[in-house]
Amino acid sequence: MQIREIHSLYFSPTGGTAKYAKAMAEGAAEALACPAEISSFTLPREREEGRHFSSDELLIIGSPTYAGKLPNKILPEFQEKLRGEHTPVLLFVTYGNRNFDNSLAELLSVLRGNGFLPLAAAAFACRHAFSDRICPERPRAEELTAARSFAARAAEALKTAERAALEAVSLAFTVPGDAGAPYYVPKGEDGAPAKFLKAKPLTDLSKCLHCGACAANCPMGSIDSSDTSKVPGICIKCQACVRGCKQGAKYFEDAAFLSHVRMLEENFAAPEKENLYFSVF
């Protein structure tokens, strides 16, 4: 099967998913000896236009896991903006050491329904967006090397595969999880559900330089660029504003949210989960 171009696309508010997307693109590009375009699907302007991929292109696509599935406010963008034409795809998710639950199955279902041929998939444990105590150094160099090798092996197999055979095995390809399952319900330290859907970041004005980086980095475009202490739009708790503020001016103080973070730190800081790989090859 001839592949003329590789596209690596990612939703990555805090950067971990982007690192894996780049590593996988490099591995596939080396194996197929063809160019790879690496692009973000994170910011509102990056999701404005639909993206169509042909049968002689390879798509690599990744997303973080939010509450055990794809980010619910971004899911419609995946469903509506991505279209394949029997396009082979390597898909992956990242997760903050608790569990990827049903996110990989949901991504596979979306892609298959949009004309793609899922052929290989992975789930990568990554630094948790909420806490530096959970997988603080991941992805490490050796894990990016493993991801690169995984993509290279899958891409190499494409070169000698017949399209009819690929389409047949792709239809039968499965990954762990249930695409239709409900979202994971976050829990607090007491084990009860932690309800923080309305929580939004606050601003320490004694530290804020009004540089606008938080507004520019928000994947929902929800922070007021003229007054970044205001968040009139939806907050998906991705931590892009918190992680991206060099002055440490952005923070959360919602009690339920902080209780959930402490629960995660107590139960999932160690041992670190292994990365998992699935392939038709």
Q: Residues 78-102: pLDDT tens digits?
A: 999 999 999 999 999 999 999 999 9
> What does R_g of the chain's alpha carbons equal in angstroms?
19
- pTM of the full structure: 0.97
Residue 271: per-residue pLDDT: 87
For 208-256, what is each residue's pLDDT tens digit?
999 999 999 999 999 999 999 999 999 999 999 999 999 999 999 999 9
Residue 256: per-residue pLDDT: 98
Q: Which two tokens stand for residue 279?
A: 């392939």
| In this structure, CATH architecture of domain 5-183+271-279 | 3-Layer(aba) Sandwich (3.40)
- Class of CATH domain 202-253: alpha beta
- Concatenating the DSSP letter of every residue in the chain gives ----EEEEEE--SSSHHHHHHHHHHHHHHHHHTS-EEEEE--SGGGGSS-EEE-TTEEEEEEEE-BTTBS-TTTHHHHHHHEEESSEEEEEEEEE-SS--TTHHHHHHHHHHHTTEEEEEEEEEE---TT-TTSSTTPSPHHHHHHHHHHHHHHHHHHHH--HHHHHHHHHH---SS-TTPPPP--B-TTSSB---TT---EE-TTT-----HHHHH-TT--S-TTSTT---S------HHHHH-TT--EE---HHHHHHHHHHHHHHSSSPPPPEEEE--
Give me the mean pLDDT over the 164-180 stretch. Answer: 96
Please report, for the chain, the start and end positions of each structural domain, with discontinuous segments joined by +: 5-183+271-279, 202-253
Give me the mean pLDDT over the 9-13 stretch. Answer: 98
